[in-house]
Amino acid sequence: MKLIVMSLISGILFGVGLTLSQMTNPDKVINFLDIAGNWDPSLIFVMVGALAVTSLFFRNIIKRPRPLFDKEFYLSSKSVIDKPLVIGAAIFGIGWGISGYCPGPSVAGLGLGTSEAVVMVFSIYLGFIAHRFYNQ
């Protein structure tokens, strides 16, 4: 139960952060990615702000024997740079550039009342399912 309440709190903060930072505005995202045009660099500050906090705390947190509400940390143990990582990230970047949405803002958009979010979440899941077949 504690686990679920903390997830909810973290999610709410995350949703407020996405909306305040305007990551939820697809036009702004595309203008951020348009370095050759009328570039709007604002969104780089989202990453700077988020990384300022996570870089400060993450290393010390994962040195702990366990998280406060669970018995272990659930972290990826992969360390090799392989083809799926690079190709997958490149495909994601194409989708991000076309749509102006990454996964977080697609979910947040459901709370902003835009039908675009419904299309995004639905098609993201189609992509997940397609990848499952591709991987078999």
Partner 1 sequence: MENFTPFSAFSGGILIGLAATLLLLFNGRIAGISGIMGGMMNSDRTELFWRFAFLAGIVIGAFLFHQIKPDFYQPRENFPVWLLAFGGFLVGFGTRMGNGCTSGHAVCGIARGSIRSITATITFMASGFLTVYIMRHMLGVLV
Residue numbers 61-80 binding partner 1 by CB under 8 A: 61-62, 66-70, 72-76, 78-80
23 Cβ neighbours under 8 A, 6+ residues apart: 29, 43, 46, 102, 104, 105, 108
Indicate the residue type of 33.
Answer: L
Closest distance between partner 1 and the C-beta of residue 5, in Å? 8
Contacts with partner 1, 94-113, as mask; x by CB under 8 A: xxxxxxxxxxx-xxxxxxxx
Closest distance between partner 1 and the C-beta of residue 9, in Å? 7
Using CB under 8 A as the binding rule, whether residue 136 contacts partner 1 is answered as no
CB of 15 closer than 8 Å to CB of 108: yes
What residues between 2 and 21 interact with partner 1 by CB under 8 A?
A: 2-21
